[in-house]
Amino acid sequence: MSSLIGLLAGIFGGLVGLGGGAVMIPMLVLKFKLLQRQAHGTSLVVVIFSGIAGTVTYAMKSSVDVGASLILAAAAITTARWGARYCSRMPEHQLKRSFGIFMILVAFLLIMKPYITAHSAPVTGWLKIIIFLATGFFTGFISGLMGVGGGALMVGAMVLFAGMSQHVAQGCSLLAMVPTAAVGSFTHWKLGNVVHSLLPGLIAGVLIGTYIGGSIALMLPETSLRIIFAAVLVWTGIQYVRSPAPACED
């Protein structure tokens, strides 16, 4: 069962440039009765491998900007451990709901992107770097806290605010989430939030699934991919908004 969960999460993540945690976490809680914090920590370990597999797939089609990924990752790893610690010590359902609302807003902006940015020039220079750094700092915290790769934030910011294409943005997010998830998951590991017995099956499934999802994504036109990504954001955002209790509270 853990392999099937990993496979589904990998296909989902590879298709829309995410780590698959948004799919993995609810299924881990439902099927294996994990505490929310355990699902977050276990998912984040698997996201490392999902990011690696997805990056390889996108890189084969020259859809990864290494420089942008390094800037995002450098910022994100500084805050990922903070998010992981908050997950174990503080209730965060209000933040989770706010983040869900934010993702729904990003989904709306992505759908409206052709109309909003039709006459805007691509962002370059220091402003682009600042956008990447700000995105990385916030994404790192959310990644550690929520047990996800943070691709939703990364891709949305790169497409909307930095003028990057959807395919390249998704490739960059997958590469950047590897070190980010590594730092966050190491903190979760030390805090006892990782269920080791589930990792082999989840990792095997996610490696295969991410390759399948990434290969499908690279064959789709950008407009279709943006709509799929927006639909995923809305679905995931609704799950966060409907969160009835602190995710990491005993």
Could you tell me if residue 96 is inside a domain? yes
Residue 249 belongs to some domain of the structure = no
**Higher per-residue pLDDT: 168 or 247:** 168
Work out the pLDDT band at 95, boundaries 50, 70, 90: low
Strands (E), 78-117: none
Contact between 201 and 2 under an 8 Å Cβ cutoff? The reply is: yes
Instruction: Give the rounded percent of residues in the chain with a pLDDT score beyond 70.
Output: 85
Distance in angstroms (rounded) separating the CA atoms of residues 203 and 44: 11
Collapsing DSSP states into helix, strand and coil, what is residue 207? helix
250 pLDDT exceeds 50? no
Q: Which residue has the higher pLDDT, 53 or 217?
A: 53
Residue 226 CB partners (closer than 8 Å, separation 6+): 110, 111, 113, 159, 166
Residue 247 lies in a domain: no
pLDDT for the residue 135: 92
Question: Is residue 245 very low, low, confident or very high in pLDDT (cuts 50, 70, 90)?
Answer: low
- Of 188, 241, 153, 180, nearest to 40 by C-alpha is 188
pLDDT at 121: 56
CB 104 within 8 A of CB 233: yes
pTM of structure: 0.76
> Could you please report the per-residue DSSP string of 5-24?
HHHHHHHHHHHHTS-SHHHH
Residue-level pLDDT at 9: 84
Q: What is the pLDDT of residue 125?
A: 82
How many domains in the chain?
1
For residue 200, CA distances in Å to 13, 27, 207, 246 come to 18, 16, 11, 29
Q: Residue 250: inside a domain, yes or no? A: no
Examine residue 139 and state whether it is found in any structural domain, yes or no. yes
Contacts of 87 (CB under 8 A, 6+ apart): 37, 40, 41, 144, 145, 146, 147, 188, 193, 247, 248
Ramachandran region of residue 18, left (φ > 0), alpha (ψ -120 to 50) or beta? beta
CA atoms within 13 A of residue 93's CA, in its CB half-sphere:
11
> Tens digit of pLDDT for each residue in 105-127?
777 866 776 665 544 556 778 88
pLDDT band at 247 (very low <50, low <70, confident <90, very high): very low
Q: State both tokens at 179.
A: 């070190």
Residue-range definition of the domain harbouring residue 74? 2-241
pLDDT in tens, 133-152: 999 999 899 888 877 777 77
200 belongs to a structural domain: yes
Lowest mean pLDDT among 8-22, 89-103, 202-216: 89-103
Averaged confidence pLDDT in the chain: 81
pLDDT value of position 195: 94
User: How confident is the model over 20-38, as a mean pLDDT?
Assistant: 82
CB of 116 closer than 8 Å to CB of 134? no
More confident residue, 235 or 14: 235
Domain assignment present for 248: no
Which of 93 and 6 is assigned the larger pLDDT? 6
Mean pLDDT across 18-42: 82
Q: Which residue has the higher pLDDT, 91 or 124?
A: 124
**Is the per-residue pLDDT at 19 higher than 70?**
no
Can you tell me the distance from the alpha carbon of 42 to that of 25, in angstroms, rounded to the nearest whole number? Answer: 8
Residue 58 belongs to some domain of the structure: yes
pLDDT band at 217 (very low <50, low <70, confident <90, very high): confident
Higher pLDDT, 202 or 55: 202
